């Protein structure tokens, strides 16, 4: 005779499969949670490492900024010192020019002419003086024009005055100081 199983085997099978399903789901959830935790921990480590790098870079940038400020300060100091050195060199270089100016003026000055005031602004020189005649002032201007160091004499004012029964001519004369090149000086000698 055929045996008939009247036990609810289908229900037991369903319960076992459901139990297996929940175990697999729990295991998968646990594995997923562990993987997510590991990935999160790894990314947290990467972020901390990058933050440490950024902090180091910011520290080095701050140090470099300080060095740049120091270099800029030193550059300004250097420029200031170079400007002072150039001014001193210019004054040292122009020192013989003043001597040459007075030497040329004395050489060009004819008898009967005296200088009362000399004013120099750059290369332009203004002279106030007294002469015994107009001809002596003209002679002075010719001598200035013939000089290699003094050029372009221009008479601004000449006035005749009677002092102690004698005519005296007050004059104001402008001319420029020229520095001849070395080749011009050698050609003259």
Numbers of helices and strands, H then E, in the chain? 3, 4
In this prediction, residue 183 carries a pLDDT of 55
In this prediction, residue 33 carries a pLDDT of 96
Residue 15 lies in a domain: no
Residue 79 lies in a domain: yes
The count of domains in the chain is: 1
Domain interval for residue 102: 50-181
| CA pair distance 113, 155, nearest whole angstrom | 14
Instruction: Look up tokens 């199983």; give the residue.
Output: 5
Which CATH number does the domain housing residue 133 bear?
3.30.1360.100
Residue 162 lies in a domain: yes
Residue 103 lies in a domain: yes
In this prediction, residue 108 carries a pLDDT of 84
Contact 172, 126 (CB under 8 A): yes
In this prediction, residue 62 carries a pLDDT of 96
Neighbours of 81 (CB within 10 A): 10
Give the rounded distance of the alpha carbon of 184 from its chain centre: 37
Estimate the crossing angle of helix 9-108 against helix 134-146, to 10 degrees: 130
Residue 59 lies in a domain: yes
How buried is 91 (Cβ within 10 angstroms: 0-12 exposed, 13-18 middle, 19+ buried)? Answer: exposed
Residue 10 lies in a domain: no
Instruction: Look up tokens 């201007």; give the residue.
Output: 141
Contact 110, 143 (CB under 8 A): yes
Stretch (H or E) spanning 122: none
User: Which residues of the chain fall below pLDDT 50?
Assistant: none
User: DSSP class of residue 164?
Assistant: T
Residue 20 lies in a domain: no
Contact 130, 167 (CB under 8 A): no
In this prediction, residue 181 carries a pLDDT of 66
| Backbone dihedral angles phi then psi of residue 86, each to the nearest 5 degrees | -65, -40
Residue 27 lies in a domain: no
CA angle 36, 41, 44 (to 5 degrees): 125
């Amino acid at each position: 005779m055929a045996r008939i199983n009247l036990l609810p085997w289908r229900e037991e099978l369903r319960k076992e499969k459901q139990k297996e399903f929940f175990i697999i789901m729990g295991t998968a959830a646990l594995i997923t949670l562990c993987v997510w935790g590991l990935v999160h921990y790894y990314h947290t480590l990467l972020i901390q490492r990058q933050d440490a790098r950024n902090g180091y870079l910011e520290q080095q940038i701050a140090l470099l900024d300080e060095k740049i400020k120091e270099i800029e300060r030193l550059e300004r100091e250097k420029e200031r010192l170079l400007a002072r050195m150039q001014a001193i060199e210019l004054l040292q270089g122009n020192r013989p020019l003043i001597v040459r100016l007075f030497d040329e003026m004395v050489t060009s000055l004819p008898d009967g002419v005296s200088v009362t005031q000399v004013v120099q602004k750059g290369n332009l020189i203004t002279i106030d003086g007294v002469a015994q005649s107009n001809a002596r002032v003209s002679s002075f201007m010719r001598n200035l024009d013939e000089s290699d160091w003094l050029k372009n004499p221009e008479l601004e004012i000449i006035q005749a005055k009677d002092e102690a029964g004698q005519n005296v001519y007050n004059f104001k004369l402008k001319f420029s100081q020229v520095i001849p090149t070395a080749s011009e000086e050698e050609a003259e000698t």
